[in-house]
Amino acid sequence: MVRTTTFSEKYSPQKNAKINCLNKNYQTPLMMAALFNHGDVIEHLLSNGANIERQDMNGLTPLLLASTDGNEQAVKILLKNGANIFAVDKEDKTCLFLAASRNHKGVVDRLLRDERSMDLLDRNDRYDNTPLHVAGSHGFREIVLMLLNHGADVDRKNEDEQTPLLVAAKAGRPRYAHYCSTVYT
């Protein structure tokens, strides 16, 4: 009879697997598990000492990678295990910014349920754009409404002195004016 081995048996530290080994992009197994939304692998790696805050060559942590790809389960597990919600990549983009920029409603919702994320609503990237700037410029209606409903600043300016409304108008997003005007009425 052939015995199959489990993931934990095959890749446990006792078998000398290096939990924090790196690929050519300086990504760890935990980063790959977060990127591909493999919750059971994430939990196994974390329970065996994986570095939850390791950054790859672009400054992305496992939480930032999971947020970028819209992996809600991975985001939930990483936050539960203490991932730094305030981590930023090389362009100063937060997990909320990255999720909003890709229209990942589930991840944005998950992040906004964490009270710490209120400090991310108006956190800007290296060009002073906020999650509201980027969601509005892409016309991501539901993301814009979520951010506005949580108190995102509609008057925040980027490095070009443009508010989210100006950025959206420049990108040809006429409905955005309506969303912003509801904040003032």
Separation of alpha carbons 122 and 96, rounded Å:
10
**Beta strands of the chain (E only): which ranges?**
none
Question: Of 61-75, 132-146, 160-174, which gets the smallest average pLDDT?
Answer: 160-174
Handedness of CA 128, 130, 123, 101 (dihedral sign): negative
Average pLDDT over residues 71-97: 98
**DSSP structure class, residue 126:** T
Domains of the chain are: 15-92 (1.25.40.20)
**pTM of the entire predicted model:** 0.88
What pLDDT, in 10s, does the model give residues 6-58? 555 555 555 667 999 999 999 999 999 999 999 999 999 999 999 999 999 99
Q: Side chain identity at 170, as an amino acid letter? A: K
What pLDDT, in 10s, does the model give residues 94-141? 999 999 999 999 999 999 999 999 999 999 999 999 999 999 999 899
DSSP states of 142-181 as a string?
A: HHHHHHHHTT--TT---TTS--HHHHHHHTT-THHHHHHH
